[in-house]
Amino acid sequence: MVDFVLGHYAYWFTIILLAIGLYGMLIKDNLVKKTIGLSIFQTGVILFFVSIASKWGATVPVKSDEFPVTEVANYMNPLPHTLMLTAIVVGVATLGVAFALLITIYNRYETLNEQELLEKIQ
């Protein structure tokens, strides 16, 4: 059990990060804080992908004479890395749209606090 917990500690940190992100999105009233929570949440997912690609004793998937690797299994899996490049870009795009909406909301209601916003909407 201890081995399981320790051996997968990256998973646990991922889960904690996801939880923090969710907390930010659900509990915080400020819309910017919600966005920050969103960003943390997405980072958690990216971290998860990167950690599933990493192995003990393996090296970066770069062919180089300085890191002689005899077996292919000693390289890390590069595929999740490439996927995460896309995911990071998607995340930034999401944040961009979010900020555009935030600015519009602020211009219309002069507040970014959800409670005040709901009162003003009514």
Partner 1 sequence: MYWEFELILFFFLLTTAIIALESDDLLVAVVMLTIFSFLNALLFTTMGAVDVGFTEAVVGAGVTGILLVVAIYQTTYKTVD
Partner 2 sequence: MIGSDIPALIPITFLAFAVLIPLLGLWKRHLSYYWAVLGATIATGFSALGFYNYISGSETIRYFFGGWEPPVGIEFVYDGLSGFIVLVINTIALFVLIHSRLIGKREFPGKVTGYYSVAMLLMLGFNGMVLTGDLFNLYVFLEISSLASYALIGIGEKRAPYAAFRYLIIGTVGGSLYLLGVGFLYTVTGTLNIIDMAAMLPEVIGNSAIITALALMVAGIGIKAALFPLHGWLPDSYSYASSTSSALIAPIGTKVAAYVLLRVVLYLFGVDIIDSAIPITDIIGILAGIGILYGSVMAIAQSDLKRMLAYSSVSQIGYIIMGISLANPFGFIGAVLHVLNHALMKACLFLVSGNLRLKEGHTDITKFDDSYRKKYPWTMVAFTTAALSMVGLPPLAGFFSKWYLALGTIENSNWLLLSVILISSLLNAVYFFRILEKVYLRDPESTDEKTGIISSLTTNEVKPSMLWTTSIIAFGILAVGLLNAFIVSAIVTMFPAGL
Binding site residues, partner 2, CB under 8 A: 22, 25, 31, 34-35, 38, 41-42, 44-45, 48-49, 52, 79-80, 83, 86-87, 90, 93-94, 97-98, 100-102, 104-105, 108-109, 117, 121
Residue 49 exposed, middle or buried by CB count within 10 Å (0-12, 13-18, 19+): middle
Contact partner, 73, from partner 1, partner 2, none, Cβ < 5-8 Å per class: none
With CB under 8 A as the contact rule, the residue among 11, 13, 45, 69 that binds partner 1 is 13
CB contact set of 67 (below 8 Å; sequence gap of 6+): 59, 60
Please name the residue ranges forming H helices in the chain.
Answer: 2-7, 9-27, 31-53, 79-109, 114-121
Restricting to residues 68-107, which ones interact with partner 1 according to CB under 8 A? 76, 80-82, 84-85, 88-89, 91-92, 95-96, 99, 102-103, 106
